[in-house]
Structure 1
């Protein structure tokens, strides 16, 4: 039996089997498995390489199964693909081999981490094996299979390392699920015309491109809002809000892009999103002592921050050739800001400690600068975004 379709021999067989390892498709689930293991190690203080390896190998085998089965169905059953490197027998051999590897790895998870971790890991193989032709014919399961597998990978790895599942890791899995569902809907829209021609019911086909894009953007927003809510109620550390800002900026740029470019931006943004969440959950950068404390500047601290951010705002306005327009707007806003600032200081809403002590017109001189710097920074960003859109 020839494993490769085009050439016989062991070397061709190895190349054909290796061709089913797609890093772009397989790296996220395995990376998330390792992320779950790292979070568990951070929570328990112990890191067991055998448990980590068993779970990561199980996830790899599940995703490999999904890729081989999907390619087999699309080429040999549906005739959708133009070519496939494996023969029918090669596909079956690859599926059997991946299944055995998954079973061995799952047994390792069970023996080293217990039944709960194994129970959370086992469905990932089912999602992979039954994706085609069963699950990919329904818009819900076709879109949700891969994101659900990644969420299970995270929760299963954490359970394997920590022996339990916490609200934090469940919240993180839910956030990733929402974000990845949104990205998958946009990704599927790339093949809208072809999917319609073969009666494949993706979300974009069922809802139409406009409504599908709105649903995808709603899911992305829900994921980001979830992080903010979890951070607000204490399930996530405060530092996770930085991931919202970073991915939110990428999502805002991708919003105007066509499906292919939007998918490329969002996938790369999702890596940054996950990395920042992991850093925040592991190191908690916004708790405890500050890594850099400019309070050593004493009475010039507030002034120094205004100079730094003011310079940034000025640079943006100069770059966008909007200095004159911004100056007019700031001149109109300034009197209202002055009255508001004077009143809040008079009634004791806030106090400024690290300032020079110089007052002008009954308010600190730093507040006068603040009323110039903040509008300048906002208008500089606004004008830069408008220029980028045009």
Structure 2
């Protein structure tokens, strides 16, 4: 049987099989599986930090086989069924052999998961192969399943990896899985836009085709932003380690750089940003570098504390507005809002709704100096974020895109 399409022999066969191992897409699911296992070893008191490497390895093998199945099936459909690809290294029989081999490997690994870790881990593992096998041509024609398939696989890999160690699930792995589901779905929305013209020509309903590229880009950033905010919220709540937001800062910086880039470049940047996010969370969970470290106490500035925070956030607001070329318009808007805010602020202070302790004591027109600055800083920051989001996350429509309500 000839495995390679244009050559024969064992070397060509091995090369053809190896061609379906795509590290960029293969490594994150494997890392997610091991991340779930590490999370369980760290978080479950009964495990006392112990780690079952054999169970973790067998689960990672099952995930590998599921992703390999997706790659082989997708390549087969795109080349032999749809005629989308110009070339493919595997013959028809080679693709069949790859699917059978990956399926047998997945079944054996899943059986190993059952024996080593119990049925729950296997139940969480089985859908990853189903998603991989059905990705093409069944799931990749629907905007929801085409976009969320890979992120759902990552989420299942985290939960399954956790279950291989703990034999159960807990809020922490579910929360981490939800974060990556949201963030990676956003990345996938942008990635699918790289084939917008072709997908539109064959009526393939990706999110970009259904919503238009500008609206799809906005949706992608809402998903990624929601996932990143969840990390911060879960950290404040105590579910995530204190250093978890470090990964958020790294990914957010990359997302800002990618905001006004074309889909291909943005995808390249965001995929690497996702690696940084995962690395940051792994370090946070495994090493807990900020455990026991108290929050910075800015009240050491005494009466200048409130003023110092306003300088920091006010500087951020000015930077955003200058970057968006909206400083003058924003100042006009803030000036119009200021009289209403002044009356509101004076009244609430007068009737004792709240008190300001860490302030200079300087008053102007009946209210603290800091409150006057606050009434400029807050709306200016809101306007800066607004101008940045609507000016950079939604770049002009690319050539060939028909105007849609999404582009308003």
TM-score (norm 2): 0.73
Structure 1 residue 303: Cα displacement: 2.6
Give the 5 Å matches for 1:70-219: 70-136=74-140, 141-174=145-178, 176-177=180-181, 180-181=184-185, 183-185=187-189, 187-195=191-199, 201-203=204-206, 209-210=210-211
Deviates more, 1:269-278 or 1:93-102: 269-278
Partner of 1:57: 61
Partner of 1:299: 303
Matches of 2:63 and 2:390 in 1, distance apart? 44
Contact conserved, 1:192 with 1:204, CA < 8 A, in 2? no
- CA deviations 1:159-213 (Å, max 9, x no partner) are 11221122443354355445545554554454455446656x53459xx533797
Partner of 1:23: 23
Q: In structure 1, list runs of 5 or more residues that go unmatched.
A: none
Structure 1 residue 38: Cα displacement: 3.0
Matches of 1:385 and 1:171 in 2, distance apart? 26
Matches of 1:323 and 1:133 in 2, distance apart? 50
Number of residue pairs the alignment of both structures matches: 387
Deviates more, 1:89-98 or 1:249-258: 249-258
- CA deviations 1:6-46 (Å, max 9, x no partner) are 34444443333222111222233223223322332332143
Give the 5 Å matches for 1:203-242: 203=206, 209-210=210-211, 221=222, 231=233
Matches of 2:69 and 2:63 in 1, distance apart? 10
Matches of 1:350 and 1:332 in 2, distance apart? 25
Partner of 2:400: none
Structure 1 residue 100: Cα displacement: 3.9
**Are the structure 2 counterparts of residues 332 and 34 from structure 1 closer, same or farther at C-alpha, using a change threshold of 3 Å?**
same
**Are the structure 2 counterparts of residues 55 and 289 from structure 1 closer, same or farther at C-alpha, using a change threshold of 3 Å?**
same
Partner of 1:368: 372
Give the 5 Å matches for 1:229-308: 231=233, 260=264, 263-264=267-268, 267=271, 270-271=274-275, 290-308=294-312
Structure 1 residue 65: Cα displacement: 1.6
Contact conserved, 1:36 with 1:155, CA < 8 A, in 2? yes
Structure 1 residue 128: Cα displacement: 2.0
Contact conserved, 1:20 with 1:64, CA < 8 A, in 2? yes
Structure 1 residue 121: Cα displacement: 0.7
Partner of 2:406: none
Let me know the Cα RMSD of the aligned residues: 4.5
**Are the structure 2 counterparts of residues 202 and 277 from structure 1 closer, same or farther at C-alpha, using a change threshold of 3 Å?**
farther
Deviates more, 1:375-384 or 1:116-125: 375-384
**Are the structure 2 counterparts of residues 77 and 365 from structure 1 closer, same or farther at C-alpha, using a change threshold of 3 Å?**
closer
Partner of 1:357: 361
Deviates more, 1:350-359 or 1:2-11: 2-11
